[in-house]
Chains A and B, each alone.
Chain A
Amino acid sequence: MRSVGLRVAIVAAAFALVAAACTGSEGGPGATDGDGNGDTDTGTTAGPSAFTYSVNSEVMIGTDPATGYSNEVIALHNVYETLTRYNAETTEVEPLLAESWETSEDGLTWTFTLREGVTFHTGAPLTAEAAKAAIERTTELGEAASYIWGAVKKIDTPDERTLVFQLSYPSPLDLVSSGTYSAYIYDTEAAGGQDLAEWFAEGNDAGSGPYTIAEFNPGEEIELRLEAYPDYWGGWDGEHYERYVFRVTPEANTAAQLLRAGEVTLVQRMSPQLWSSFEGQDGFETSAASSWQTLLALLNTADGPLADERVRDAVALGIDYQGIIAALEGAAEPLSGVVPPGLWGHTDGLEYQQNQAEAGALLGEAGFGPDGERLTLELTYLKGDADEELVATLMKSNLEELNIDLQVQGLQWQTQWDKAKSGNEAERQDILVFYWWPDYPDPVSWFYSLFRTEKDPFFNLSYYSNEELDAMIDEASVVAATDRDEATRMYEQMQQIVAEDAPAIPLYTQVYQRAMLDEVEGFQDNPAYPNVVFGYELTPTG
């Protein structure tokens, strides 16, 4: 009895503590703000203002600006800067670290003039030499999207502020230098004697951007804290957020709840239903902008039933695109062609429409369809992506009406990709659903990676081969360096070819639905930099 009694007493004491704690914060999270126990309200008078970005997965997958090729861009674009920045509204390239640039008639020489008075967070000034060293380190490491600099033969630095690129073939360097990945300019001398990559991995940075890394807690909920870099060339006059916190909240419901409680400032992504629950609400603001994240279904043109173009067309006609868009309730927009709106080269009027009768007839010709043999197709998608899962479920249901048994498989990306690249053709899928977006603002990304003939498949997972298109791809990427209007016309043609041959079905383009506290002013998505919130451009009010 004694020991049990003791236990009960301890437990009772623990209970009392918990109970006391509960009553201590009566009224819950909403009420903790004003009751005087510390300033938990971020946007008010005392202390520098903090912007908390609720992101749905870990941010710092990579830490090195040269090799990062993942989610870290959403932090790095606030810490590092590129020579230029793409403006999706005007579809023009704008100055950033470079004030101006020009190209030779043949597109083989590009001259960039750097902004004056820029320093890195290490204190070192931005010089042509430093910029050259950064680009060269990035290309030498050869990782991430460093291939975007592939045309560069030689970089000259005639003076402190002038950077001259000599190319081996014409390439639109103004677009390249505004790239999403691998285009950052950084101080390669930052680590002194230490290995630079290791130094980055420890949570250091060598950028020139408005914020610098103050705290890096890998794997934790508050993964990253940024702080204003006092000597930022843009200056800190006027209202800016001086702290920038990344809070990882994988569950959209949690993120929404945190926003409602004022614990985060802006939420990266929630379900359309949650998002619309903030629409028109006092104290909150919402924004919706179409992105460049295009969801595509790549069809196996080399092997299996989809090698027959009629069957591909039938599948393309069998899908209820409007139904998919409707079920996603605003999180998706119809996509015409593969190049999304906001990117030069986008073409209207190429959307597919569902037409079950025609699809059935095409299948009938091929011996399948409602009156023919039952057709079995295998589809793979990224496991854990609720939108892709929903699309797969709807497609399965649509195709069932055409007597097609769509076997849907959610896989981890590695597994999905390994299967698609398999040397054994029989092991490959019939339909692969995945997102594609460019590494820098150029439509060539879709064509070069997805539709250009590949001996061993890498990203051409339709296994599509069309010599005519191959030639056009090579030509268009050269023309883009000197004559963007002509290149735009070429991409229009190329998209028509893709629509006819149907190696891929463009399903939709994602819509960024953001919800934020209404203290935030000046927020706008830039689809060229997916999910990046440029903190410096925001103004805290209230």
Chain B
Amino acid sequence: MTRFLVRRLALAALVVVGVVILTFVVARVVPGDPASTWAGPRARPEQVEAARRDLGLDRPLPVQIAKYVGGVATGDWGLSLRTRRPVLEDIAQRAPASIELVTAAMLLALAVGIPLGLVAARWRGRSPDVLSRLVSVVGVSMPSFWLAIVLQLVFFQWLNLLPVAGSYDPDLDYTSPLRSVTNMPILDALLTGNWTVFTSALTHVILPAVVIAAYPAGVITRMVRASVLDTIGEDHIRMVRALGFPERSVFTRFALRHAWSPVVALLALVFAYALVNTFLVEAIFNRPGLGSYAASAIGALDTPAIVGVTLFVALVYVLGNLVVDVVQAMIDPRIRVA
């Protein structure tokens, strides 16, 4: 187990270094000059030159990369050209809101995907299966930016049922101000017992969460279905069946027990993808968070911020995978060999 862990950690570290270098190289070839972005819209040439020196852009590329990698390791992710604050601080401030949104979406996706997948597996080949597969295909085929617009149209514009923008009604800041604990508005409201904000935040999260949930829900449905069917096909289940246990009990007592492991393995991956989805969705719903931060960074060619966000998401993914691998290896020793 220790050997597996060490190997896996070393591998993750290697990937992280590769990720840092790749993002940096990509960002540095961006057209447009970070120094002139920093110096401002109508800056004179001398000011741009001064900014170039201040930002260390006058040094050779390998030196810049080495400095950046070193900085990342020590928590210095550079300064955002747009907000002029440390990128890591910006990310730390905005990531929680996105993580909360994605978590809400994932819960929604699980709530839809698991039952749907089970139904499909239980009645394989029959109409519930066909219907569930159709729903899951529509889920993974949904252009989220479009769904976001359509839901706004229907639920706000036409039905006037749900709010469209922000994470909660900002007027509440005057009447029942929210104390920031985690920077996740729903959780903060819950922790501080601020029910007015809690209600407002929940109603605000519904539409964006539904949009982000569409894709994971489709994937989870497929995965649950496939995984259950896979387990049912395994020898020991056939044995159970041969022993004359009723089908329903084969399904619930034996098959499902083994079916959830691949689903868990998938969750880290889907979470990271959903996080990227916020790039498109948060801006449309005018929610603060990593996604809208990234979207405006791209708009402003704010390279340190773009690199920072890219790095952050990649790290989330690498770490998520690491955790899943380790957990699975602890549960199932066979995986360690593979």
* Chain A residues with a Cβ under 8 A of chain B: 1-4, 7-8, 10-12, 14-15, 17-18, 21-22, 24-25, 27-30, 32, 37-40, 42, 47, 50, 58, 62, 67, 69-70, 143-145, 201, 218-222, 243, 245, 247-251, 253-254, 257-258, 261, 263, 384, 412-415, 417-418, 458-459
Contact B114 A11 (CB under 8 A): yes
Contact A70 B206 (CB under 8 A): no
Output the nearest chain B residue to A421 by Cβ-Cβ distance: B45
Set A17, A201, A249, A417: member contacting B165, Cβ < 8 A: A249
Give the complex CA separation of A230 and B303 in angstroms.
43
Contact B111 A15 (CB under 8 A): yes
On chain B, the residues within 8 Å of A459 by CB distance are: 42
Contact B166 A50 (CB under 8 A): no
The list of the 4 closest CB pairs from A to B, nearest first, reads: A21-B202, A11-B111, A414-B32, A38-B175
Q: Is B84 an interface residue (CB 8 A)?
A: yes
Nearest chain B CB to A15 CB, angstrom units = 6
Nearest chain B CB to A414 CB, angstrom units = 4
On chain B, the residues within 8 Å of A249 by CB distance are: 165, 286
Contact B94 A219 (CB under 8 A): yes
Contact B170 A7 (CB under 8 A): no
Contact B175 A39 (CB under 8 A): yes
- Take A412-B301, A414-B36 as given contacts and tell me if A219 and B288 are in contact as well, using a CB distance cutoff of 8 Å: yes
Contact A21 B199 (CB under 8 A): yes
On chain B, the residues within 8 Å of A414 by CB distance are: 32-33, 36-37, 301
Nearest chain A CB to B320 CB, angstrom units = 18
On chain A, the residues within 8 Å of B32 by CB distance are: 412, 414-415, 418
Contact A69 B169 (CB under 8 A): no
- Take A70-B40, A143-B40 as given contacts and tell me if A24 and B256 are in contact as well, using a CB distance cutoff of 8 Å: no
Nearest chain A CB to B327 CB, angstrom units = 13
Set A42, A222, A261: member contacting B163, Cβ < 8 A: A261
Nearest chain A CB to B212 CB, angstrom units = 14
On chain A, the residues within 8 Å of B156 by CB distance are: 28, 257
Q: Is B253 an interface residue (CB 8 A)?
A: yes
Q: Is B247 an interface residue (CB 8 A)?
A: no
Nearest chain A CB to B157 CB, angstrom units = 7
Nearest chain A CB to B83 CB, angstrom units = 5
On chain A, the residues within 8 Å of B321 by CB distance are: none
For chain B residues 287-303, which have a beta carbon within 8 Å of chain A? 287-288, 293, 296, 299-301
On chain B, the residues within 8 Å of A413 by CB distance are: 41
Q: Is B173 an interface residue (CB 8 A)?
A: yes
For chain B residues 7-38, which have a beta carbon within 8 Å of chain A? 31-33, 36-37
Contact B202 A4 (CB under 8 A): no
Give the complex CA separation of A333 and B86 in angstroms.
43
For chain B residues 37-66, which have a beta carbon within 8 Å of chain A? 37, 40-44, 47
Give the complex CA separation of A2 and B253 in angstroms.
9
- Take A70-B40, A418-B36 as given contacts and tell me if A7 and B169 are in contact as well, using a CB distance cutoff of 8 Å: no
Give the complex CA separation of A219 and B167 in angstroms.
14
Give the complex CA separation of A231 and B64 in angstroms.
51
- Take A384-B299, A414-B37 as given contacts and tell me if A28 and B162 are in contact as well, using a CB distance cutoff of 8 Å: yes
- Take A250-B286, A258-B165 as given contacts and tell me if A263 and B36 are in contact as well, using a CB distance cutoff of 8 Å: no
Output the nearest chain B residue to A147 by Cβ-Cβ distance: B44
Nearest chain A CB to B152 CB, angstrom units = 7
Contact B176 A38 (CB under 8 A): yes
Contact B164 A257 (CB under 8 A): yes
Set B31, B171, B296: member contacting A42, Cβ < 8 A: B171
Q: Is B160 an interface residue (CB 8 A)?
A: yes
Q: Is B219 an interface residue (CB 8 A)?
A: no
Q: Is B96 an interface residue (CB 8 A)?
A: no
Contact A1 B111 (CB under 8 A): no
Contact B40 A69 (CB under 8 A): yes
Contact B299 A70 (CB under 8 A): no
Q: Is B323 an interface residue (CB 8 A)?
A: no
Contact B111 A69 (CB under 8 A): no
- Take A32-B169, A250-B283 as given contacts and tell me if A21 and B203 are in contact as well, using a CB distance cutoff of 8 Å: yes
Set B43, B170, B286, B301: member contacting A251, Cβ < 8 A: B286
Q: Is B88 an interface residue (CB 8 A)?
A: no
Q: Is B85 an interface residue (CB 8 A)?
A: yes
Contact A221 B288 (CB under 8 A): yes
On chain A, the residues within 8 Å of B160 by CB distance are: 27-30
Give the complex CA separation of A324 and B197 in angstroms.
46
18 A-B pairs besides A29-B163, A50-B174, A201-B84 with CB distance below 8 A are: A11-B111, A21-B199, A21-B203, A28-B156, A218-B83, A219-B83, A221-B286, A221-B288, A243-B174, A249-B286, A250-B283, A251-B286, A253-B152, A254-B286, A257-B156, A258-B165, A263-B170, A412-B301
> Can you list 13 A-B contacts (CB < 8 A)?
A14-B107, A22-B162, A29-B169, A37-B196, A37-B199, A40-B172, A40-B175, A50-B171, A218-B83, A222-B170, A249-B165, A414-B301, A415-B31
Nearest chain B CB to A461 CB, angstrom units = 13
Give the complex CA separation of A27 and B160 in angstroms.
7
Contact A257 B157 (CB under 8 A): yes
Nearest chain B CB to A246 CB, angstrom units = 11
On chain B, the residues within 8 Å of A221 by CB distance are: 165-167, 170, 286-288
On chain A, the residues within 8 Å of B284 by CB distance are: 251
Q: Is B260 an interface residue (CB 8 A)?
A: yes
Output the nearest chain B residue to A39 by Cβ-Cβ distance: B175
Give the complex CA separation of A514 and B253 in angstroms.
65
Contact A247 B170 (CB under 8 A): yes
On chain B, the residues within 8 Å of A22 by CB distance are: 162, 202-203, 206
On chain A, the residues within 8 Å of B152 by CB distance are: 253, 257
Give the complex CA separation of A52 and B40 in angstroms.
28
Nearest chain B CB to A225 CB, angstrom units = 8
Q: Is B110 an interface residue (CB 8 A)?
A: yes
Give the complex CA separation of A10 and B288 in angstroms.
27
Output the nearest chain A residue to B301 by Cβ-Cβ distance: A412
On chain A, the residues within 8 Å of B202 by CB distance are: 17-18, 21-22
On chain B, the residues within 8 Å of A415 by CB distance are: 31-32, 301
Contact A4 B260 (CB under 8 A): yes
Nearest chain B CB to A213 CB, angstrom units = 16
